[in-house]
Chain A
Amino acid sequence: EIVMTQSPATLSVSPGERATLSCRASQSVSSNLAWYQQKPGQAPRLLIYGASTRATGIPARFSGSGSGTEFTLTISSLQSEDFAVYYCQQYNNWWTFGQGTKVEIK
């Protein structure tokens, strides 16, 4: 099983600042990586697939990068609605999720 490790567990950021979330795979997943956002009481929402392609309707302030085993989700200027938990997911070999990064208001 491919293990996905996200860091940090919690990220405290002020509105308007940049947030950088990391995701590491235990073995190469090529670019077969997605990012999801989950707000309290809601289902996850797809943000990014193919490591760097924004899903339909996702604002340009969200960007993804990386390949192989190291990936990054960047939120360029945090808005109030962006405070949530973010999960990475590999789909190179079945599916596994990272444990999540909570982005909270500083």
Chain B
Amino acid sequence: EVQLVQSGAEVKKPGESLKISCKGSGYSFTSYWIGWVRQMPGKGLEWMGIIYPGDSDTRYSPSFQGQVTISADKSISTAYLQWSSLKASDTAMYYCARHENSAAAWGWFDPWGQGTLVTVSS
């Protein structure tokens, strides 16, 4: 079974750093892109960025470029999303999802991790 398991909920203060994780299993981790998606409280889904663990090729949504860093450690089949200085507006649920290859330039996301809730509050 293809599965993505994310790290647990985090409560941080503004200005602190954070790195959350997403561990893949049940498939060749280096052969599929992994995307990150933000969902702010009561809101919709926003694509943040995507990484190819095979060679760490990374692309960012313009809205998130410079705000977060996406990385991966293929030796442990884990992708990461990190912040160097959190803001209250980073409070959200963050999902990782495996990107499915398609005949088009890009594809859909399936499956999704269970989500990591990040709360930033003083």
Asked if A69 lies at the interface with its beta carbon under 8 angstroms from chain B, I say: no
Q: 4 additional contacts, CB 8 Å, given A44-B112, A45-B111?
A: A43-B114, A87-B44, A92-B105, A95-B106
Q: Kindly state whether residue B24 has any CB partner on chain A within 8 Å.
A: no
Interface size range of chain A in the complex? 20 to 34
Residue of B62, B102, B110, B111 contacting most chain A CB atoms (<10 Å): B110
Spell out A's residues near B (CB within 8 Å): 1, 30, 32, 34, 36, 43-46, 49-50, 55, 87, 89, 91-100
With A49-B107, A97-B46: A43-B95 Cβ-Cβ less than 8 Å: yes
Is the C-beta of B61 less than 8 angstroms from some C-beta in chain A? yes
Total chain B interface residues with beta-carbon distance under 8 A: 25
Q: Please judge, given known A-B contacts A43-B95, A43-B113, A94-B61, whether A32 and B104 are in contact too, CB under 8 Å.
A: yes
In this complex, what residue of A is CB-closest to B111?
Answer: A46
Interchain CB contact under 8 A, B104 and A97: no
Give the CA-CA distance A34 to B37 in the complex, in Å.
15
Taken residue by residue from 41 to 65, chain B's Cβ proximity to chain A (1 for < 8 Å, 0 otherwise) reads as 0001111000000000001011000
